Amino acid sequence: MIEFETVSKTYPGQSVAVADFSLVVPSHRTVVLVGSSGSGKSTLLRTVNRMVEPTSGRVLIDDEDVRERDPVALRRSIGYVLQHGGLLPHRSVLDNIATVPVLKGTPKRRARTAASELLERVGLDPKIGRRYPGQLSGGQQQRVGVARALAADPNILLMDEPFGAVDPIMRRELQEELLRLQAELHKTIVFVTHDIDEAFLLGDEVVVLREGGVIAQRGTPAEILGAPADDFVRDFVGADRAERELHITTVDGRSIAVDGTGRPVGVLAP
């Protein structure tokens, strides 16, 4: 469980990035922080592994203040996936995945074997383990990034716009892969994105942020889509967008879902 207790962050010489943010992320759930740039979502994420120290307030992991923990040990105990993969260009794919176990003292050979298994787990051919990140496609790099985050078997995964830099088709595949993994692994995931559709797809719970880390609304995707708290949320989730306005028409005795422009988007299951 991760708890944010009235967390504020002001960067020197700039206005407030996050003010009085409080949130509980329950264990084994995926919580998505969604907002446009300037909403402080990345800042919030980074307070969890102490890449950012809050100006005031505190962050607790299983009731323990993260400030009590050694930052290096803390970071090794949390999986972290970044937008650009953040892979080390001079290390082979296997060594990248094995980074944290090796830093923690696992023998290199054992760490590599485990890394090779992880490659399969994230849907990659173990043969690419000997290559360097520069030889992989963007999607492959992101999968390796996920594998690296899982290598030390952390309870918590922090994901900072991990699929933001790949093309839409690849992004869709990666999202499905993450859902599949999470169904098996039950990690506590904090996921940051500016893409509301991604948030609705992945989040057990979605937190919509305004400028400065103010929570505009939190709830399940259905709750937010069904009852936007205010105009900001309505606008942000695009509740008024034509493709969200579905209605049912009957064609040849089958119920067809049609969006606001009249384009059919699916068939109702019997």
Partner 1 sequence: MNLFLDALAWLTDPAHWTGPGGVPTRVLQHLAITFAAVTAAAILALPAGVLIGHTRKGAGLVGAIAGAARAIPTLGLLTLLGLALGIGLKAPLIALIVLAVPSVLAGAYAGVQNVDTAITGAARAIGMNPRQIVFQVEIPLAAPVLIGGLRAATLQVVATATLAAYTADFGLGRYLFSGLKSRDYAEMLAGALLVAALALLLELLFAAGQRLAAKRIAAPAHEKGAAESDSPREKEPV
Partner 2 sequence: MNWLSLNWPQVIELTRDHLLLSAPALLLSVLIAVPIGRLAQQRPRIGGALLGAASLLYAIPALPLLIIIPALFGVPLRSPATMVIALTVYGVALLVRTAADAFGSVDPRVREAAVAVGHSPRSVFWRVDLPLAVPVLLAGVRVVAVSTVSLVTIGALIGVPSLGTLLTDGFQRGIPAEVATGIIATMALALLFDALLVAAGRALTPWATIRHERPLPQEETT
**Minimum CB distance to partner 2 smaller for 13 or for 134:** 134
Binding mask 147-176 for partner 2 (x = CB under 8 A): -xx-----------------------x---
CA distance 32 to 234: 17
Instruction: Report the partner that residue 234 touches, choosing among partner 2, partner 1, none (CB closer than 5 to 8 A by kind).
Output: none
Closest residue by Cα to residue 173 from 189, 162, 185: 162
Q: Please, what is the minimum distance in Å from the beta carbon of residue 181 to partner 1?
A: 23
Amino acid (1-letter code) at residue 72: V
Q: Which of 23, 30, 42, 145 binds partner 1 (CB under 8 A)?
A: 42
Tokens 């360097």, located at residue: 132
- Asked if residue 146 binds partner 1 (CB under 8 A), the reply is no
Binders of partner 1 among 93-132, rule CB under 8 A? none
**Minimum CB distance to partner 1 smaller for 84 or for 121:** 84
Instruction: Report the partner that residue 37 touches, choosing among partner 2, partner 1, none (CB closer than 5 to 8 A by kind).
Output: partner 1
Binders of partner 2 among 92-131, rule CB under 8 A? 99-100, 103, 120, 123-125, 127-128, 131
CA distance 93 to 148: 9
Alpha-carbon dihedral 168, 173, 175, 178, rounded to 10 degrees = -160
Segment contacting partner 1 (CB under 8 A): 35-43, 66-74, 91-99, 260-268?
Answer: 35-43
Contact (Cβ atoms closer than 8 angstroms) between residue 161 and residue 86: no
- Asked if residue 76 binds partner 2 (CB under 8 A), the reply is yes
Strand-pairing partners, residue 160, are 192
Query: Which residues does 93 contact at the CB level (< 8 Å), separation at least 6?
Result: 87, 119, 128, 129, 130, 131, 132, 133, 136, 144
Binders of partner 2 among 11-70, rule CB under 8 A? 46, 49, 51
- Provide the binding-site residues for partner 1, judged by CB under 8 A: 11, 14-15, 17, 37-43, 82-84, 160-161
